[in-house]
Structure 1
Amino acid sequence: MIEKISLFWSWYFELVVRTRLNRVSRNDDEGDVDSLGRLSIFTHLGRAFGPLDKSRFLYEDEFYAAELYVLINCEEVLSYIKIFDVIVNGDVVHISEDELEKVRDARFVKWFKNYF
């Protein structure tokens, strides 16, 4: 109950008062990068996560997941996602939203690379 009350009242605090509604995510350094020539997903400053002296190559499935995450979360790519969805909807009659999402997860990155 206290949590709900504090959440309600946090709508009325000034922006300088940190609350759950206006706090910055833990890896955001509260700055912006010059967006010239960058995808929208890369315009926010951040900080490294984990030990800096350890690095490794990603496995193929990890790399694919990272590619998919970046593409799906770029404003610049949204129109291509819609094109892909229309194509899949044309190929598969009565596809559900869950099935479409699975197809997108499995094939969008390759399709996007071949589109150009």
Structure 2
Amino acid sequence: MNIKKALGLNQAEPVVVDPKNRFYYMLQQMQANRWKITAIVLGLFFFIILGINSAVFFGVEIQENWKEMLLILFGAFVGNLNKVVDYWFNSEDRDKMLIQKVDEED
């Protein structure tokens, strides 16, 4: 089985969109992209947390320079997680504008 096909990353056929529904289609694509980005960021964030917790649980000795790298990586993903939360909960104005534009097109 092809990995790209399993993950849904293969090149899709172009979709013919009716001019009356182009904003609705764009809104659907934006929502799908939001879900993908959110899943990737949350997956990586929890993978890092799981790795740190498993190292602590099993008593693995981590060298000092690797600890610094893990903390820098963890801090970067906390910032990305903050951006994901802001994107989901503070982008209402843009969404309302797009929905209003879709309603005007109908």
TM-score scaled to structure 1, two decimals?
Answer: 0.26
TM normalised by structure 2 equals 0.27
Greater relative contact order, per chain length (Cα 8 Å cut-off, separation 6+): 2
